[in-house]
Structure 1
Amino acid sequence: MATGEVGEALRRLGIGVTAVRLYLALLELAPVPLPELGAATGLDEDELAAAYAELVEARLSSAATGDGEAVAPLPPAAGLQFLGRLRAAELDASCITVAGAFDTLRRRRPAAFKNDLVEVVTGEDIGPRLRQTWAGACDQIRQFDSPPYFPIPTATDEALATLTRGVTQRVVYSRESLEYPGNFRRSIEPCIAAGEQARVVHAVPVKLIIVDDACALVSLSIHEVDVHHTLLVVRPCGLFSALVALFEQTWQNALPLYDSRTPPPQGAAAPPQRPLPADRRMLALLAGGVPDEDIARELGISRRTLFRRLEVLMTRLGATTRFQLALQAQRRGWL
């Protein structure tokens, strides 16, 4: 790799220009006594001491003993992690400082920002705004999910990437979400497998995404003609607090969908064998109240095959009704 690229990478991590020059020379000459390194880089004694101390503090170089012993670069993994965490902490502190200054201004002059609490986004601007806000989540995303869906082909991949970053996702799905052709297998199930917390209700009161405690996105789509024409961006205010309360109340009343990572409850009887993925999908759809025809279509089977699978599962779990089937499946951690 070119030394220029290495130097630029170190500068982006916060290493000073002189220390970068010294480190590049160290890579070429090590092991080498520190005075010889200074002579090779043209640094005087004070400059050499300050720059090398910076490398030692960053855990990129061995400590100089001062008795002429040779110095050398250290394996960079630990040092780079240290610098990365340090820069991240500095960036977080800077963001807090700037945001705090703005909030102070907003509190001093509320009249100047009264129109900024609710923003209206329309037409082709909706998709990019949804993606931008979702990608900016730091802590958690809370969502009411229901058709019609805005056409974002990468939506599932972006949701999975957010989960990978450690952002908590809690989603309340409407029954229509589970009935929407291909949506359960293509979008819902992969997100649950990746750690999403999912619940279902018959119908959600509004299409909603709450990102951290920063903003709420409210869709005003016209369901009858499937037109996605207006999105409201609501920032912290009384309306925002009401939307958060609405989500939390709905979440408490919703029925959990299965989580493929959750073990059976402690003390539950172990089933003779784990259910097939298709059977778990079928149970989740049943628990969500999806009609038999839509479940069969989602699984790609006939209604007759669906009924046979249900009979087999009911026999395995000792259930005589669908209610008992759902109850026994949940007790065994299948839902």
Structure 2
Amino acid sequence: MTNAKLGEALRLLGLDHAASRVYLALLELAPAPLGTIAAAAGDLDEVEITAAYGVLVDAGLASAAERGADVVAPVPPGAGLEILARHRAAEVEESRIAVSGAFDSFRRQRLAAYNDDLVEVVTGDAVGPRIRHAWASARDQIRQFESPPYFPLPGATDDALATLARGVTQRVVYSRASLEHPGHVRDVIEPCVKAGEQARVLAAVPVKLVIIDDAYALVSLSIKEADVHNTMLVVQPCGLLSALMALFEQSWQNALPFHGRTTRPGGLPPEDRRLLWLLAGGAGDDVIARELGISRRTLYRRLQILMARLGAANRFQMALRAQRSGWL
């Protein structure tokens, strides 16, 4: 690592310029008298060098000079770096709270006289970056209505998986059209569900929607007839946001689970579980056959086997008994 990069790393950990220069000199010359280190560090007087070296000692990066001797040296930085990193993290968190508080104060003052900043319109090329920023900013949970048409956003599934990996709860209500969109189950829905997403299905969702924590919502103004999704509303805290959150919770209660934990009595092959999930989600025979990579004839044969196993006379009974058996 070059001295410039190391100096920048030390700065990011909270060490000032003088302390960084002294530490670099220590790494090159120590063990050595402090006077030798001071000369190598550059234009620092006695008071400055003493203060800078004291910063390094306090940070756990250098040893205190022994009584009667002036020889100094760096020490293993593990514990010291951990302390510095924690201090920096605490400072960043304090800064985040301060900036958020200042903006909240600004918004309250503005809203006392104006109400035109409650809904922001985002269009064109600005839609994609705004969506990605929303995912990255989530701290507690994301609630989503998901349906075509889809905005072309490379890496969107990776963003969702990264959000789940951070411990953010993600609840998504998919429309039946989402299941029927070619490759969407295999490439998008199933990887997210496997990573911990809670997914449910409705025949149709009332609006394309993403709610970030309780902070704001993204509402798509898509044109289905033209398969266009190039305008989005950003709704700040207000009565409209409260209504959108209530709409999601009501729809969530009415939706069917797409994927669930199952005890699988007697064992159930993964492909049969997938078949049942697609069937319960309302996918048609052609869609199920395509997603499973089998012919309609093979699909019908597997359905007959599952119905016989569950003692069901038709698909409706099969779905009910599969749910009661813990397979859905």
Judge which range, 301-310 or 223-232, deviates more: 223-232
Residue 301 of structure 1 is matched in structure 2 by 294
SS of equivalent residue, structure 2 residue 115: helix
Counterpart pick for 2:269 among 272, 275, 296: 275
In structure 2, the CA distance between the partners of 1:109 and 1:129, relative to structure 1 (3 Å rule), is closer
Q: Shift of residue 297 of structure 1?
A: 1.7
Report the more deviating stretch, 27-36 or 324-333. Answer: 324-333
SS where residue 116 of structure 2 aligns? helix
Query: In the TM superposition, what are the counterparts of 1:98-113 in structure 2 within 5 Å?
Result: 98-113=99-114
CA RMSD of aligned residues (A): 2.8
Q: How many residues align?
A: 326
State the match for 1:21 in structure 2.
Answer: 21
Q: Deviations over 1:78-118 (max 9, x none)?
A: 54444334323322221221222232233234255421111
1:177 to partner: Cα distance: 1.0
Paired residue for 2:121? 120
In structure 2, what is the Cα distance between the partners aligned to 1:125 and 1:325? 47
Question: Partner letter of residue 200 of structure 1?
Answer: V
Separation in structure 1 between the aligned mates of residue 34 and residue 255 of structure 2, nearest angstrom: 67
Superposed, which structure 2 residues align to 1:166-315 within 5 Å?
Answer: 166-259=167-260, 262=261, 264=262, 271-273=265-267, 275-276=269-270, 278-315=271-308
Could you tell me the TM-score, scaled by structure 1's length? Answer: 0.84
**Contact 1:275–1:334 under 8 Å retained in 2:** no
Task: Measure the CA separation in 1 of the matches of 2:31 and 2:306.
Answer: 70
SS of the aligned residue for 1:5 comes to helix
1:56-80: CA deviation from partner (whole Å, max 9, x where unpaired)? 443434455545475323144x544
Identity of aligned residues (%): 65
User: Structure 1 residue 319: deviation in Å?
Assistant: 5.5
Distance between the aligned counterparts of 2:74 and 2:283, measured in 1? 66
Question: Displacement of 1:39 after TM fit?
Answer: 5.2
Matched AA of 2:111: P
Q: Residues of 1 paired with 2:165 and 2:113: CA distance? A: 39
Give the partner amino acid of 2:251. Answer: T
C-alpha spacing 1:317/1:286, structure 2 compared with 1 (3 Å): same
Say yes or no: does 1:153 pair with 2:147.
no
Normalised by the length of structure 2, the TM-score is 0.86
Unpaired segments ≥5 residues, structure 1: none
Q: Which amino acid aligns with 2:291?
A: E
Unaligned runs of 5+ in 2: none
**Any idea what the Cα deviations from partners look like across 1:98-145, whole Å, max 9, x if unmatched?**
222232233234255421111122334333332333333333221100
